[in-house]
A and B are shown apart, each in its own frame.
Chain A
């Protein structure tokens, strides 16, 4: 699948934003009014940037408002509705916090739950696709949720600016858990082929009972939307290198930095560096998520 930059930013930024909302709603982070401003601003920025990036993926963004209409059947529509609902509830939570200084835990818990459901809906946009066997697993929502939790906790520990609260430790634990889930996802992905989803060339053409099916002539000499969107192959051969970068910057570097921060050097720069590194690694992880995923239609083209 084509790893559109808009989708990489959408899934990573909005994930971190909803993660931040969740941890804030559960009562983590300092309580001062100045911090309420900062926290709400950054959460809003991340979520808005993520959703704006997803709108850039649309060929007719002027009609994006219609995406709120089909929540009964469509995960993409549900994601839009839930993102708006989460933002509204968290907005109310943040306004009350800013103007009265009170952090209403029940409202925060609702915001946290809605955040988790929103990230789940985002992941289901991909998980629901039987056409992309690598994505069609409950491990995909687990990966999205775990990275949202880790990213949100990392952002919150940056905003805290080196104060001693459990959030940096939570970020470290969430990071480790997220990568354990991701490794499990990769393990499954390596064993998952198009044929296991009923999409080998033989199954795609129904000609397998005659013999082995291979492409003889393509239907068109040029490219087309299908090939560009779903038979993406550019630089897939560099997937191993990108995987190493994802693990190095997404997992190892931030984990070491957080360990140093937690054990003997509470410098506010360390969580910042950990976050920057983690985000770079996460972009690699998300790039692989799309670029390595094979779509059923590739079987017709005799291509991966």
Chain B
């Protein structure tokens, strides 16, 4: 058996498309992920010192926020969810010495067989995206399963057969689908919006794509006032205007 070698790439490449133009940074996806995955596939996602002074725990999805400063223009705030990208050339899989890490040929999902993981942590070192976190209670590596136990689960209503993060996102910034099918909704979205790979130079060929923030308009065309404080200065009229002028004479 040769599990930690990568499979022949299949036609089906399930993954996520994350719209950075829409994400509001509410962390609901991370919470929904933790909730589903702590009671689903594999060991629970443990917390250490959850009510103490130094709480931390295992999460499969982390939401960063960045300030992006264009030259000579106001800064933008971009919320940035970070999770496993289910790479086609997944370095986390090939480094695994035990056969615990594997990539499925049939749909491209990267998984960990936790009963085989010896907790060496090398896969987490091999991942440039920080997608893998060691569970400190169970001593095995945890990662996004693309909710493999939801997406094919016929016990769930059909609308729930998508990853918990996608299902819960209140802004619809997360989309799930087959990125191997050029006609799928997610593939069309990537084509229309110039979806891109994270750290392409790392040669991991991520399946997940990110949609860039749309260009900002209206800030640099002269229509917007330079000083917003001026807008907030209300010139009083009527009786108040007369009082205001009268008081001004006393100054």
B70 touches A214 (CB 8 A): no
Task: Write the chain B residue with the least CB distance to A208.
Answer: B68
A220 touches B139 (CB 8 A): no
| Residues 51-64 of chain B, each 1 if its beta carbon lies under 8 Å from chain A, else 0 | 00011111100111
Q: Name the interface residues of A120-152: CB closer than 8 Å to any CB of B.
A: 125, 128-132
From A74, A76, A199, A213, B202 is in contact (CB under 8 Å) with: A199
CA distance A66 to B75 in the complex (A): 51
CA distance A77 to B71 in the complex (A): 49
B67 touches A128 (CB 8 A): no
From B64, B98, B136, B212, A217 is in contact (CB under 8 Å) with: B64
A214 touches B118 (CB 8 A): no
Q: Name the interface residues of B188-224: CB closer than 8 Å to any CB of A.
A: 196-203, 210, 212-213
Note all chain A residues with C-beta closer than 8 A to B151.
none
CA distance A289 to B113 in the complex (A): 31
- A190 contacts B by Cβ under 8 Å: no
Interface size class of A (residues with CB under 8 A): 35 or more
Note all chain A residues with C-beta closer than 8 A to B210.
206
Note all chain A residues with C-beta closer than 8 A to B96.
70, 73-74
B5 touches A73 (CB 8 A): yes
Query: Closest approach, in angstroms, between the C-beta of A57 and any C-beta of chain B?
Result: 7
From A63, A128, A129, B98 is in contact (CB under 8 Å) with: A63
| Residues 202-230 of chain A, each 1 if its beta carbon lies under 8 Å from chain B, else 0 | 01111101111111111110111110011
Note all chain B residues with C-beta closer than 8 A to A73.
2, 4-5, 93-94, 96
Query: Most chain-A Cβ atoms within 10 A of its Cβ — which of B20, B96, B99, B128?
Result: B128
- B80 contacts A by Cβ under 8 Å: yes
CA distance A219 to B27 in the complex (A): 9
Given A74-B4, A207-B78, A131 and B125 touching (CB < 8 A)?
yes
- A166 contacts B by Cβ under 8 Å: no
Note all chain A residues with C-beta closer than 8 A to B98.
63, 66-67, 69-70, 77
- B8 contacts A by Cβ under 8 Å: no
A230 touches B117 (CB 8 A): no
B62 touches A219 (CB 8 A): yes
Query: Closest approach, in angstroms, between the C-beta of A53 and any C-beta of chain B?
Result: 13
Query: Closest approach, in angstroms, between the C-beta of A258 and any C-beta of chain B?
Result: 36
- A23 contacts B by Cβ under 8 Å: no
CA distance A77 to B30 in the complex (A): 34
Q: Name the interface residues of A215-272: CB closer than 8 Å to any CB of B.
A: 215-220, 222-226, 229-230
Query: Closest approach, in angstroms, between the C-beta of B29 and any C-beta of chain A?
Result: 11
Given A131-B125, A295-B125, A223 and B54 touching (CB < 8 A)?
yes
Q: Name the interface residues of A52-74: CB closer than 8 Å to any CB of B.
A: 57-64, 66-67, 69-70, 72-74
B124 touches A225 (CB 8 A): yes
- A296 contacts B by Cβ under 8 Å: yes
Query: Closest approach, in angstroms, between the C-beta of A249 and any C-beta of chain B?
Result: 28
CA distance A217 to B24 in the complex (A): 13
| Residues of A participating in the B interface, judged by any CB pair closer than 8 Å | 1, 57-64, 66-67, 69-70, 72-77, 80, 125, 128-132, 197-199, 201, 203-207, 209-220, 222-226, 229-230, 295-297, 300-301
Can you show 11 pairs from A to B with CB atoms below 8 A apart? A76-B95, A77-B97, A199-B202, A203-B198, A203-B201, A207-B68, A207-B78, A212-B68, A219-B27, A220-B59, A296-B199
